[in-house]
Structures are given as structure tokens and as C-alpha cells.
Amino acid sequence: MPLLCRVSSLATVYVKSDITDKVSGLSVDITGDAVQAAFVAPGTDPDVGDWNSAIWQTDATTTPTTYTACCLVGPAGVITLAKGRYEMWVKVTDSPEVPVLPAGAIEVF
């Protein structure tokens, strides 16, 4: 997986991943769907207890609009990660679809 970012174990920051959904070739606003993120050891799939709350950021200055899943990671975040390398996964709960997408790797130092 490509490296999304490097994060200090002392920092609290949003780890982000752009998510795109298209219907009939047109970009769809997915910010009404619930979004969660998981951070797991490389080569493993997320389990039920791995999912953490995330939020959407929207950048309407791009064409098409960019939708970004953001999970607050760090001592004051929704999850604190020990030093090491993790794979980020994003789950979008829509109806009836619930895509679970690999987002990329992060390194905590």
C-alpha cells in the first residue's frame, strides 16, 4: 500500500483518505453516509472492533468535488497508535452498499 503519511506518536492529527463514488459516471455527494476508519497491521483485514469514528471533509474548489474521510489519530484522538506501520481502511455505510476500502499505509514514529 502507498504511504499516506507519517505521524508522530506525540501528535493528534487527522489521517485522511480521499473517497470517490460515481453513479452513471457522475460524482456523488457521500457526506450523508456514515464513515469509519480502521488501522491494522499490514496484510490483515479489519475486524469488527477495529472501526473508529471518522468525519467527512469536502473540497468544493475541485472538479469534481473531493470528499475526504478523516480520522483523528493520537493521544487526544479517537484512537492512539503505538509506533509502527499500519494500513488504513475506510468503511462507508450506505444503503444497501457498505464498501470497505483499503486507503493506504501510515507510519507512526
* CATH class of the structural domain 3-108: mainly beta
Q: How confident is the model at residue 2 (pLDDT cuts 50, 70, 90)?
A: confident
pLDDT at 22: 84
Q: Is-cis flag, bond preceding 99, omega within 30?
A: no
Domain residue ranges of the chain, discontinuous segments joined by + = 3-108
pLDDT at 24: 87
Per-chain mean pLDDT for the chain: 96
Give this prediction's pTM: 0.93
pLDDT at 69: 98
Residue type, 22: K
Half-sphere exposure of 85 (CA within 13 A, CB side): 9
Query: How does residue 79 score in pLDDT terms, banded at 50, 70 and 90?
Result: very high
pLDDT digits (tens, 9 = 90+) for 10-54: 999 999 999 988 888 888 999 999 999 999 999 999 999 999 999
In the structure, what pLDDT confidence band is assigned to residue 1 with cuts at 50, 70 and 90? confident
